[in-house]
Amino acid sequence: MTNRSSAAPTHTSVLTINGGSSSIKFALYQTGGPLEQIFHGSIDRIGLPGTNLTFSDSAGNRKGSLILESSDTRSVSNFLIDWLEEQIDFSLISGVGHRVVFGMKHTDPERITQELLNELHRISPYDTDHLPAEVELIEALRQRYPKLPQVACFDTAFHRTMPRVARLLPIPRRFDAIGIQRYGFHGLSYAYLMEELARLADAKTAQGRVILAHLGNGASITAVHGGKSIDTSMGFTPTSGLPMSTRPGDLDPGVAWYLMQVENLRPYSLIISSIMNPVCSEFLKPVPTCATCSTVNCRTYGRPRRLRCFATRSRNGSARSQQCWEEWKH
């Protein structure tokens, strides 16, 4: 911990927070005129050994780093708020802006309410790498400062201009009707890149045909024409597209089904956690076979889903399959 920064704002300010899959970046800007950055920093290697916070003020007079004792998201969120409280007077903060990775139908910045938080909780399973941690940090700040306005800026918003042909997935249309489509991600990064392209080159160049790349722990590329996104490599979740640090990108779905059979892997854990997000490798464990009929995956999450022992039971009700069913229930 450090003493309050000498660069702390004396007027109202805005705190920005960018929660990624393995880091949190933050910055404080003084308002009341042209935005002026006061200080910035990041917490890296979240969930890994050696989690650390680094910070620097804009003048370069103060900088440093701290090692965190705990690396889980809840501990990291509370540590960051504690540290910020030592640097700045929260009564001078007029609002907090959050990068929120997945917005689905939400396309514009929104004031965070309990209703919006409930919606983010509901869609969290679509992006387990980002949303749960982002929501946890938002809720930690709401608990400490319930009257402090917080705003969600959605990473999917930049791609809302994609034509329908780019948003459609090759699956039955009834799924598109319930929101299963290509959304695209890293939108805030791409919006910034387009602003910088217009500033450093010229408006005509920015309105032309442009290929943008966001390369980090997560990675994607986007095609832009007329200043608008027309296609992007990521789709329904941030796991698709280019190969990434802990995400394989586009992967033949047959690989997952093949591994489930030859490696005795849980379907849910394999597809969602282990292959699509290999960092969660603790889920990559064999499933016990049925003690009665030796059927693979006899026990699974929730109700049975076309598993061989249950299919046999439904056809002829054999005593062996009936016993398998009784074992599964218990």
**pLDDT at site 309:** 41
pLDDT band (50, 70, 90) for residue 222 = very high
Q: Between β-strands 93-100 and 13-19, what pairing exists: parallel, antiparallel or unpaired?
A: parallel
Q: Which residue has the higher pLDDT, 320 or 31?
A: 31
- Are 144 and 53 within one domain? yes
User: What is the CATH classification number for the domain harbouring 20?
Assistant: 3.30.420.40
Whether residue 177 is found in the same domain as residue 104: no
Say whether pLDDT at 295 is over 90: no
Residue 37 lies in a domain: yes
**Tokens representing 167?**
């948003």
On the question of pLDDT at 248 being above 70, the answer is: yes
For the chain, give the percent of residues with pLDDT over 70: 76
Residue at 2 is within a domain: no
Q: What's the rounded Cα separation, in Å, for the pair 44 and 209?
A: 35
Nearest-angstrom CA–CA distance, 192 and 186: 10
257 and 173 both lie in a single domain: no
**Domain contains 244:** no
pLDDT at residue 105, rounded to an integer: 80
Residues 46 and 108 in one domain: yes
Last residue of a domain, one of 232, 262, 278: 232
Return the pLDDT at 97.
96
Q: Do 171 and 300 fall into the same domain? A: no
Tokens 């890293």 appear where?
186
CA distance 184 to 191: 13
- Please report, for residues 150, 168, 227, the alpha-carbon distance to residue 139 in angstroms, rounded to integers and kept in the order given: 10, 33, 35
pLDDT category, 130, cuts 50, 70, 90?
A: confident
Picking from 154, 180, 204, the residue at the C-terminal end of a domain is 154
Neighbours of 268 (CB within 10 A): 14
Total count of residues recorded for the chain = 330
Q: Are residues 265 and 305 in the same domain?
A: no
Q: Are 129 and 19 within one domain?
A: yes
Question: Which residue segment(s) compose the domain that 273 sits in?
Answer: 251-286
User: Within this chain, do residues 150 and 17 fall inside the same structural domain, yes or no?
Assistant: yes
Least confident of 71-75, 99-103, 124-128: 124-128
Instruction: Please give the residue that has the higher pLDDT: either 205 or 10.
Output: 205
Task: Tell me: do 31 and 59 sit in the same domain.
Answer: yes
The overall average pLDDT reported for the chain is: 80
Indicate yes or no: pTM above 0.75.
no
Q: How many domains does the chain divide into?
A: 4
Q: Which of 123, 154, 185 is the last residue of a domain?
A: 154
Residues 194 and 278 in one domain: no
Query: Annotated catalytic residue: which of 44, 72, 155, 252?
Result: 155
Say yes or no: 24 and 134 in one domain. yes
Catalytic residue flag (residue 127): no
* 8 occurs within a structural domain: no
Same domain, 128 and 74: yes
